[in-house]
Chain A
């Protein structure tokens, strides 16, 4: 089996939330899947990564997390994921998976794709630099549109509030434990890890969620632990690219503060009466010029009216 994922950066094995879900889950059960970092998402049936392909067998490619977990469970891996859980715990895992999807996913998507500053500083730049022109433009635009569609009816503040509450609840639920259920990681740990790792590691200028997440030490420890045990970084160029991104983000923050300061100064002065007069005169002049030009008004000189004579 082969798992195609987006390449990693910022000390993460992949930059994409769903890819991290798949990756963490398969690492938890020590599955012999080969990981392929790829930048050709058009090969996937949904046009997105991750996708798990069985090159030898005839099975369909898997893009759905639940199906992927099912596949890992049934295909006799060394460790059966979610194996030692009671039915009630399994039921809770299903519920929390929905909880994350409803409360955390919109905010994470908004932070990465819908927030203009973050999008232009980081997300757009990262994806376009990995993909080749002109497909990159099409891809980011399509993906952004899709995210914007799913967020269309949501109030941003409410969404952020939900996400912050969700982080608090996850923090309370985790407590001082190593993982959410027992001392072995479950599929829920993979899901939580996916969202939190991206929030924690990807450098963003608008970092409301990041700041809040850093204030939950047990969640931060949880992410670091999973990275260090299951997904150790092998990237040697880390520090160099880190400084690049840091300066980029710092610049964006500066810009934002500058633009936030500006509009207050400009507000006061507007002169409706002067503008109205100027507009009125302008419209009149233009109409007159047009009328004269197109011959609707003729400035007539006296003309002799000759009889019509031919030859």
Chain B
């Protein structure tokens, strides 16, 4: 069974001093698929990638990557993976071509010069190929970084926030490259903070929060878990509590207050919630209305909704993900 999974981890733990970066990370990525690890800053995404690419050793738990044990067979794992990290890690003192040829040599590619020329062309870097990479734009360097990962086809490709800070053209290019790779059987594991990016690229998403996978599923499955974000604005503070009670009943979620605007909002669990439904319920309850809105869930909403059990029920407001992160 394990052979059908390109990445399979059980109970991975990693601690940095007092900080528990990973607390029992479980991943199962089938071969030839794209898995998006989605989570806020500090959730443990990068730590997970560093562990799975042999850069860090787990404190507990085990994992198999490309069919080999991460710790006992680290050298065999390295033969089958490629990593493009968050910061570009190519040598700026070398030209783009020299960088790719070096990687070609280290990966024992036959004809590194020909392969490098091929990749430079594919990534639209031929024109700048013989200039030092330090003179290139950030987007070009990121593309070169990815090209270096592909001088030979890896069994598993790790992409740590591959499109952060990239222009749309580069983003499309990376998306196409990922699709072509999976068509050839490569498994791709990418981390991202953007729901949209995971949506476009990933077959499956693993939601990571505080060092743990909290939910897994296809993008559609995850979205169906979270409904729209409803917000009600009332004329004065007196009726805010009544509006909140209605929202609570309709959405089944803890409402969050914006006292300055006399607004109360909640992320609905019910995807069938509509504005007329909302207005009717508020009207029946006799709540005066200034504004009612319903918008698609944002990443914040998904996290709020899916990790809602974590904050204690007594708190009046659930706050944003950012606020919870600061508090934690």
To the question of whether A and B form a pair in one complex, the answer is no
